[in-house]
Amino acid sequence: MTFDYRPLQKSTYMNRTVEPFHAVCQKGNWYLICREINPPKENNTVHPSGDIRNFALSRIKNPVETKNQFAVPKDFDVNNYFDSETGVWLSDTKPILVELEFSSEVGTFALDRIWHKDQVVKEKADGSVYVSFKTTQLREVVRFVLGQGHTVKVLGPEELRAAVVDEARIVAEMYE
């Protein structure tokens, strides 16, 4: 299959050739999980041919079915390419243990929410709430944490804490 695709970082469409393996709806948005063949150069990086990639259907236009034959690899497991609880980014496939502390200001919100099917949630004596879960979706958790402002603090891992600090610094510099 070929199509024109507009990546998040671009304002123009780029032609893609893929072997589609699976489609998934994540939080109301549809994604195509594919093996990309001969990918274009993007942002001075090249994704190797044969990489498994996610493409948002909303950013695809002009799809054309090719007659190229291919087989989905026998070891392909769609669950290795997205976390149905958190997101669809393919930035990493190694799970991380996310540990968050919600302030007492939003403690009830944190207690009432299902963050992940394997979550651990503990209310503390001061009304704050500890939440932990494993996910591969670092970028999605960074966005979530930033959206909560001062009411949530990252306890771990350090990689997540550093990503939140870096992004918050960039946002603060926009307003200086």
Instruction: Write out the two tokens for 5.
Output: 């695709």
Residue 100 and residue 167 share a domain: yes
Residue 100 and residue 60 share a domain: no
Instruction: Write out the two tokens for 111.
Output: 């207690």
Instruction: Write out the two tokens for 110.
Output: 């944190």
Task: Specify if 127 maps to a domain.
Answer: yes
Residue 77: per-residue pLDDT:
82
Task: Specify if 88 maps to a domain.
Answer: no
In this predicted structure, the answer to whether residue 151 has a pLDDT above a threshold of 80 is yes
Task: Specify if 62 maps to a domain.
Answer: yes
In this predicted structure, the answer to whether residue 110 has a pLDDT above a threshold of 60 is yes
pLDDT digits (tens, 9 = 90+) for 68-86: 889 998 988 887 776 666 6
In this predicted structure, the answer to whether residue 148 has a pLDDT above a threshold of 60 is yes
Highest mean pLDDT among 46-55, 114-123, 126-135: 126-135
Task: Specify if 21 maps to a domain.
Answer: yes
Q: In this structure, what are the phi and psi dihedrals at residue 94, rounded to the nearest 5 degrees?
A: -90, 120
Instruction: Write out the two tokens for 156.
Output: 């771990």
Q: Cα dihedral angle (146, 147, 150, 154), rounded to 10 degrees?
A: -50
The rounded distance, in Å, linking the Cα atoms of 46 and 41 is: 5
Percentage of the chain lying above the pLDDT 90 cut: 49
Give the structural domain span for 157. Answer: 96-174
Which amino acid would we find at residue 2? T
Coil, helix or strand for 108? helix
Residue 100 and residue 39 share a domain: no
For the chain, the maximum distance between any two Cα atoms, rounded to a whole number of angstroms, is: 63
Dihedral of alpha carbons 132, 110, 148, 106, sign: negative
pTM: 0.62
Task: Specify if 132 maps to a domain.
Answer: yes
